[in-house]
Amino acid sequence: MAVRIAVAGGKGGTGKTTLAVGLARAFLSTGEKVSLLDLDVEEPNSHLFLSDLREVNRRQVISSLPAVITEHCVACGRCKEFCHFNAIVVFDKATVLEEFCHRCGGCVLVCPERAIVEKEVVIGEVIKAVGRGLELVSGWLEVGQANPGPVIREVKAEQVAGDWVVLDCPPGSGCAFVESVEGADLLLGVVEDTPFGAHDFRKVVQVARNAGMRIFAVINRYGMGNGDGVKVCEEEEIEILAKVPFSEAAHRALAQGGDPYSVSPDLKGILDWIRDALLERLER
């Protein structure tokens, strides 16, 4: 059985993608098969660090949304009364508020005038690329679409070959995050040593704990914060696998699309260390 590692940061910009890509490469270097899933579908960026991969497959994610045929609507209000999510208002005619709609399809069924129909819309794409023994599956949410859930599910449903599956999770601890970590064996938190970083990581921990996941942490930009990130890990009894100091040189190289595993010997050493620690903890 493949081991699924969710890499999550809580707040954005913690270096989560760097770690996810770097860790994938570290596993790869020992001859393991690795798949990387980019689930940060609103801003997928794992591919930026893996520009030499070759695209092998691309498919659209379709979702259906109710649409009102206004000429047929008699403003009876049944659809609005039915909708449990207040996703329909009827002023002169019914209007579906897409951002609240959960796509249950109920309004389509209850409209006596058949004035609501399911309309299919492309809400995103799933792209698979391979190269250097690595397989990358990225999800892309169309601009203007509010609900990343279906795209995340499609990425996770993709058949992957890796013995290690690294999940680059979206920031935050909301629905998109919950959807992303579901089914993961362990969570690797990338925590900034700041009050914000600590606060957001605590919420991530709550979700992962409830899902029964093992949790480990990596403190990023160690030495640049006030110690709150480390404190949270201590309070929550989460083992810190590594404290990564900030390096101006590595930061610059990464910003130019450098591969995290090759930009600096220090960073490579840390990534190998994290990989070995995980192997040991999982008794693999």
Partner 1 sequence: MRIAVPVSAPSKEALMDEKFGRAQWFLIYDSKSGRYEVVENPGFEASSGAGSAAVQTLRDRSVDVLLAGNIGPKAKDLLAMAGIKAYEDYSGRGEEVIRQFLSAQGGQ
**What is the distance, to the nearest Å, from the Cα of residue 106 to the centroid of all Cα atoms in its chain?**
29
By CB under 6 A, residue 64 contacts ligand SF4: no
Q: How far is CA 82 from CA 72, 85, 104, 193, 255, in A?
A: 18, 9, 11, 47, 50
By CB under 6 A, residue 121 contacts ligand SF4: no
By CB under 6 A, residue 90 contacts ligand SF4: yes
By CB under 8 A, residue 116 contacts partner 1: no
Distance between start and end Cα atoms, the chain: 12
**Any idea which residue has 């190998």 for tokens?**
272
Which does residue 91 touch among partner 1, ligand SF4, none (CB within 5 to 8 A, set by kind)?
partner 1
Alpha-helical segments (H) within 83-194:
106-110, 149-157, 175-181
Task: Name the nearest CA neighbour of 220 among 246, 255, 247, 186.
Answer: 246
By CB under 6 A, residue 79 contacts ligand SF4: yes
The nearest distance, CB 91 to ligand SF4, in angstroms, is: 10
Alpha carbons 3 and 35: distance in angstroms, whole number: 10
By CB under 6 A, residue 150 contacts ligand SF4: no
Quick one: 29 or 95, whose CB is closer to partner 1? 95
The nearest distance, CB 146 to ligand SF4, in angstroms, is: 13
Which does residue 203 touch among partner 1, ligand SF4, none (CB within 5 to 8 A, set by kind)?
none
- Contacting positions for ligand SF4 (CB under 6 A): 66, 68, 73-79, 82-83, 85, 87-88, 90, 94, 96, 101-107, 111, 113, 115-116
